[in-house]
């Protein structure tokens, strides 16, 4: 038994595929808490893997999926763009031990669930071993240097297991996220995507669109220099990674575009109310939003 208060070691040998803000923070947080033994790191660019090693996020660099060092891992965590999962898994799965648990940290989940089901015939047992996860953390910084050991403390982490996910693996991954400080909850992948399409992906799309549209104005850059605290907070997420968010928008297009349609409907109502001096509708829509948002508290 471990000493009281000290979390036990959960994995002996972990392979982190992707060692940027999210992957790096998972590794660093797990190492500092003693949740893991030896941490191997892999990323598309060797330079990034070396940076993660230098920063102490990982213990060893994996240069290629063929490296014999990956044959003994008991857990794999994917923190790369979801669009790259299939290719990377296809390279690593033939080498990985059959009993290692695999989980991810991607922002969309129905596409991940579909991809796992699609790979199952080629890699029997994959569904049982794979625990789709989405920690609600991150931000507009990226790369290994942005990693923080406490990034997930007090944050939510949503698990969207498949019907065939093994309960043991689900429990191991849930215990890992809890030990990193997150609150873990479970839902269906489609429910997850609808929820986060609405409360995360749509705000990102709107913030990107807003900043890009202002830059279309000849004086737009000059205008934004005068932005105050409202501008600052509203547009903050427009500084997020274009590559990662283009992935998310494409991977969750159905739920995102449905939420966008609702938004466009409300914007039309407000435009019309302003054009027609319809004070009653205008104030009523604003009050609906303000009443909700004034009472809102982060979980």
Residues 214 to 273: which contact a second copy by CB under 8 A? Answer: 214-217, 219-243, 245-246, 249-250, 253, 256-257, 259-260, 262-267, 270-271
Asked whether position 153 contacts a second copy by CB under 8 A, the answer is no
Cα dihedral 213, 232, 227, 281 sign: positive
Both tokens of residue 232? 């600052």
**Of 90 and 266, which has the nearer Cβ to a second copy?**
266
Asked whether position 12 contacts a second copy by CB under 8 A, the answer is no
Smallest distance from a second copy to CB 259, Å: 7
State which of residues 103, 133, 205, 218 lies at the interface with a second copy (CB under 8 A). 205
Query: Which window, 56-64, 90-98, 174-182, 197-205, contacts a second copy (CB under 8 A)?
Result: 197-205
**Of 60 and 191, which has the nearer Cβ to a second copy?**
191
CA dihedral 27, 61, 126, 137 (to 10 degrees): 30
**Of 168 and 239, which has the nearer Cβ to a second copy?**
239
Smallest distance from a second copy to CB 218, Å: 11
Residue count, binding to a second copy (CB under 8 A): 88
**Of 51 and 247, which has the nearer Cβ to a second copy?**
247
**Of 39 and 80, which has the nearer Cβ to a second copy?**
80
Asked whether position 202 contacts a second copy by CB under 8 A, the answer is yes
Asked whether position 151 contacts a second copy by CB under 8 A, the answer is no
Burial class (CB in 10 A: 0-12, 13-18, 19+), 146: middle
Both tokens of residue 127? 């569904």
**Of 17 and 248, which has the nearer Cβ to a second copy?**
248
Q: Is 289 helix (H, G, I), strand (E, B) or coil?
A: helix
Asked whether position 283 contacts a second copy by CB under 8 A, the answer is yes
Asked whether position 137 contacts a second copy by CB under 8 A, the answer is yes
Asked whether position 85 contacts a second copy by CB under 8 A, the answer is no
State which of residues 69, 72, 156, 166 lies at the interface with a second copy (CB under 8 A). 156
Task: Please say whether the beta carbons of 209 and 237 come within 8 A.
Answer: no
Q: Is 226 helix (H, G, I), strand (E, B) or coil?
A: coil
Q: Which helix (H) or strand (E) holds 245?
A: helix 242-251
Asked whether position 54 contacts a second copy by CB under 8 A, the answer is no
Residue linked to tokens 């060692």: 19
Q: Which helix (H) or strand (E) holds 211?
A: helix 202-215
Smallest distance from a second copy to CB 180, Å: 16
Smallest distance from a second copy to CB 256, Å: 7
Cα dihedral 126, 127, 129, 133 sign: positive
Asked whether position 136 contacts a second copy by CB under 8 A, the answer is yes
Question: What is the DSSP track for 114-175?
Answer: HHHHHHTTTSTTHHHHEE-EEES---S--SGGG--TTTTTT-EEEE---TTS-HHHHHHHHH
Smallest distance from a second copy to CB 297, Å: 9
Alpha helices in 21-119 (DSSP H): 21-32, 46-54, 85-92, 110-119
Smallest distance from a second copy to CB 116, Å: 22
């Amino acid at each position: 038994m471990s000493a009281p208060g000290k979390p036990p070691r959960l994995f002996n040998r972990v392979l982190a595929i992707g060692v940027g803000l999210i992957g790096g923070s998972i590794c660093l947080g797990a190492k500092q808490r003693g949740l893991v033994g030896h941490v191997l790191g892999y990323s598309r660019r060797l330079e990034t893997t070396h940076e993660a090693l230098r920063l102490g996020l990982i213990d060893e660099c994996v240069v290629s999926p063929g490296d014999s060092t990956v044959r003994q891992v008991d857990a794999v965590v994917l923190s790369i763009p979801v669009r790259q999962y299939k290719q990377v898994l296809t390279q690593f799965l033939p080498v990985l031990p059959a009993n290692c648990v695999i989980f991810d940290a991607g922002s969309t989940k129905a596409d991940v669930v579909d991809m796992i089901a699609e790979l199952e015939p080629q890699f029997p047992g994959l569904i049982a071993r794979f625990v789709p996860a989405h920690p609600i953390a991150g931000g507009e910084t990226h790369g290994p240097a942005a990693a923080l050991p406490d990034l997930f403390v007090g944050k939510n982490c949503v698990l969207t297991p498949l019907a065939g996910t093994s309960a043991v693996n689900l429990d191991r991954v849930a215990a890992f996220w809890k030990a990193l400080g997150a609150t873990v909850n479970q839902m269906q992948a489609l429910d997850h995507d609808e929820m986060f399409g609405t409360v995360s992906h749509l705000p990102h799309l709107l913030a990107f669109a807003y900043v890009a549209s202002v830059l279309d104005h000849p004086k737009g850059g000059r205008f934004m220099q005068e932005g105050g605290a409202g501008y600052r907070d509203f547009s903050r997420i427009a500084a997020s990674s274009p590559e990662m968010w283009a992935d998310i928008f494409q991977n969750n297009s159905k739920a995102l575009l449905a939420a966008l349609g609702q938004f466009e409907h409300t914007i039309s109502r407000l435009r019309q109310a302003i054009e027609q001096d319809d004070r009653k509708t205008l104030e009523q829509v604003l009050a609906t939003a303000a009443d909700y948002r004034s009472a809102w508290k982060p979980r």
